[in-house]
Amino acid sequence: MKKVELKTLTENFVEAIGKEWMLVTAGSKEGFNTMTASWGGIGFLWNKPVAFVFVRPERYTNEFIEKADYLTLSFLGTENKQIHAVCGSKSGRDIDKVKETGLKPLFTPQGNVSFEQARLTLECKKLYVSDITADSFIDKSLIDKWYGGSHGNFHKVYIVEITDVWEEE
C-alpha cells in the first residue's frame, strides 16, 4: 500500500459506500475483526476530515472497535462482492473470515489492519461515539423500517478522524 493525500481523492463516496460497500475493521495483528458496511459518510467536522460509521452493538466487530483507538475503512472494488457476502452475513464469532474469504491482511505502520484486496483504505482515529435513539427520530417511520422485527438494535454512530489514506500499489 502507498500513502496518498486525502485531498488528491476524487471519489464519489456516496456511490463507493452505498454500492461498492466497505469493510470496517478494528484490532491489530494480535486479533482483529472485519465486517461489511454500506452505511456511513465522509465529511468535515471539528475542522478535521472525518468519516461516520454506523455499527449495531451486537456486531462482533463492535467489540474490537470499542477496545481500539483506530479503525479502518477498506474499499475492495466491485469485484470482491463474494468477500462482502461472507463478511456481511457471517460473524467472526462463528467463522475465521480471513480463512473463509481469502482476505490477505496488511498492517499499517501504526499497526492497524487493511487487506491486499483493498484499492483504498482510510485509517481513522475514533473521536466520538453515540447511540441512535428512538426519541431522536424526526421521521419515525424509519424506526419500524430499520429497527423493527429482526433488524437488530439501534446503531452506534462512530465519528472518526481520517488520519491516513492508503492506496494499493
Closest to ligand FMN by CB, 2 or 93: 93
Smallest Cα–Cα separation from 33: which of 62, 7, 67? 62
Closest to ligand FMN by CB, 1 or 25: 25
Closest to ligand FMN by CB, 60 or 137: 60
Judge contact between 52 and 158, C-beta under 8 A: yes
Minimum distance of ligand FMN from residue 125's CB (angstroms)? 19
* Residues near ligand FMN, by CB under 6 A: 21, 33, 35-39, 54-56, 59-61, 88-93
CA-based angle 53:44:139, to the nearest 5?
Answer: 55
Closest to ligand FMN by CB, 56 or 126: 56
Minimum distance of ligand FMN from residue 106's CB (angstroms)? 19
Judge contact between 160 and 53, C-beta under 8 A: yes
Closest to ligand FMN by CB, 61 or 112: 61
Minimum distance of ligand FMN from residue 59's CB (angstroms)? 4
Pairing of β 2-4 and β 48-55: unpaired
CA distances from 2 to 22, 64, 79, 106, 126 (A): 19, 25, 21, 12, 22
Minimum distance of ligand FMN from residue 155's CB (angstroms)? 6
Minimum distance of ligand FMN from residue 36's CB (angstroms)? 4
Q: How far is CA 102 from the centre of its chain?
A: 19
Residue 57 is given by DSSP the state: T
When CB distances to ligand FMN are compared, the closest residue is: 88
Judge contact between 74 and 105, C-beta under 8 A: no
